[in-house]
Amino acid sequence: MIQKVRGFQDIYGENAKKYRYIVETVRNIFNLYSFQEIILPYVEDISLFKRSVGEETDIVQKEMYTFKDRGGRDLALRPEGTASCVRAYIEEKMYAQGSYHKLFYEGAMFRYERPQAGRYRQFHQIGAEIFGVSSVYADAELIQMVDKIVKTLNIQARLEINTLGDFNSRKLYSQALRDYFSQYKDKLCETCLKRLDTNPLRILDCKVESCKEISKEAPVITDYISKESKDRFNELLDILSKLGVNYRVNPGLVRGLDYYTETVFEFITDKIGAQGTVAAGGRYDNLVEQLGGPPTPALGFAAGIERLMLLISQLEKKDILITIIPINSDYILKGLELSKFLRDSEIKSEFMLKTGSLKSMMKTADKFRTDFVIFVSDKLELKDMKSGEQLIFYSEEDLIDHIKGEKAV
Ligand code: HAM
């Protein structure tokens, strides 16, 4: 038997409902905050991710699904959405059409990571990006929106927040790390030796024990951040408090992607094991320019839909479901007509052809979480699955009136 690819999932049944519920809920919130949808390609030029997510990040170094197409182009399945969004912003010259843009996207992302609970090789994100606003109030508004998403989905997650400072602060900090780690060249792993030249910040993220040990005493970013960045960060914290958003400052939060400046944040839960970050994001004020666009401040976030799915309990059932069973082949057409009639009256119904014993059919109906079964013969026999009560009707109209009454209760 051919099996699904490792790290990929079939999402069906209750899980598919949860998936759609999350997407619908988040899209509604995006709508309240006036974000516009952008549907982005799944495949991009490899260099887009190298130049944005970063040449030295795990994502680009080890996790991308890359291939050559028949025309010899070097392509990648997208590992995240921000890079594509920025590319589209520049390529479609959105900057020329108004002073700022608020976009959202949703869909599959691909990373060749080690699969475990909450971590897959194909996963889905729903995220939003804002282009053209530098004000700290935009950071606050975005974070408050993510907080609202988490609360609306009834998920318990704490907000951790940090600042990486402006571009200059990051450069100073990188140099300080380079000086520090250079003393331990003999103890660093091979990857980190390379990172020492290219991006010493990444060493702080290394999972190799010896590197982790040395990182403990490394300089901390807070000591290298300019006064402006510190003030900005404090202002953000103050606004968040005023908006009723709880947070914890975590100076060790650096994120796994290279494009961030200033604010970075993660919403983290303890309820699903090691992969507890359900949503994450921050500012990336240099990225648009870095990818060839005009200087444009920007910020955004993305949530992992599978992780959210792990956190929401069984969904409440909203609609009444009616299952229609013709008692024998003489009544199939009558049953199908009744189903059409119910559906035309906006009542959800399942038309079930008699396949086995009545008992096994009732079992299937129960699995569908049916509220009522109607046995179709010369009469219409309605059975309430919860109370067991049975009622007999001779006209479809009377039956619908009765069901509508039940629906209203
Ligand atoms: P990220 O932290 O790499 O950021 O991913 C965002 C979220 O996607 C994570 O917090 C997690 O919930 C989910 N996620 C990531 N990898 C996996 C995986 N292998 N399996 C399941 N879920 C996963 C970004 O991607 C940035 N583009 C976020 C952003 C938008 N920053 C600014 N704008």
* DSSP notation for 78-133: -S-SHHHHHHHHHHTTGGGSSS-EEEEEEEEEE--PPPBTTB-SEEEEEEEEEES-
Mutate to test the pocket of ligand 1, among 6, 104, 109, 262 (most ligand atoms within 8 A of CB): 109
What are the structure tokens assigned to 134, written together?
Answer: 């530098």
Residue 360: the pLDDT is 87
Interval between CA 123 and ligand 1 midpoint (Å): 9
Cβ-in-10-Å burial (0-12, 13-18, 19+) of 120 comes to buried
Mutate to test the pocket of ligand 1, among 19, 110, 113, 123 (most ligand atoms within 8 A of CB): 123
Nearest residue (by CA) to ligand 1, atom 15, is 304
Q: Give the pocket of ligand 1 (CB within 6 Å).
A: 80-82, 111, 113, 119-120, 123, 125, 127, 129, 256-257, 277-282, 300-304, 306-307
Mutate to test the pocket of ligand 1, among 22, 38, 65, 80 (most ligand atoms within 8 A of CB): 80
- pLDDT tens digits, residue range 347-394? 999 999 877 888 888 888 888 889 999 999 999 999 999 899 999 999
- pLDDT tens digits, residue range 128-164? 999 999 999 999 999 999 999 999 999 999 999 999 9
Sign of CA dihedral 232, 49, 290, 106: negative
Mean pLDDT by 10 residues, the chain (409 residues): 97 95 97 98 98 90 96 98 98 94 98 96 98 98 98 96 89 91 93 87 85 91 90 98 96 86 96 90 97 98 97 83 93 95 92 84 87 95 92 91 72
Task: Identify the structural domains of the chain with CATH numbers, from first to last.
Answer: 13-166+225-310 (3.30.930.10), 322-403 (3.40.50.800)
The torsion of the CA quartet 361, 363, 369, 374, rounded to 10 degrees, works out to: 40
Strand arrangement of the beta sheet that strand 66-68 belongs to = 43-45, 74-77, 66-68
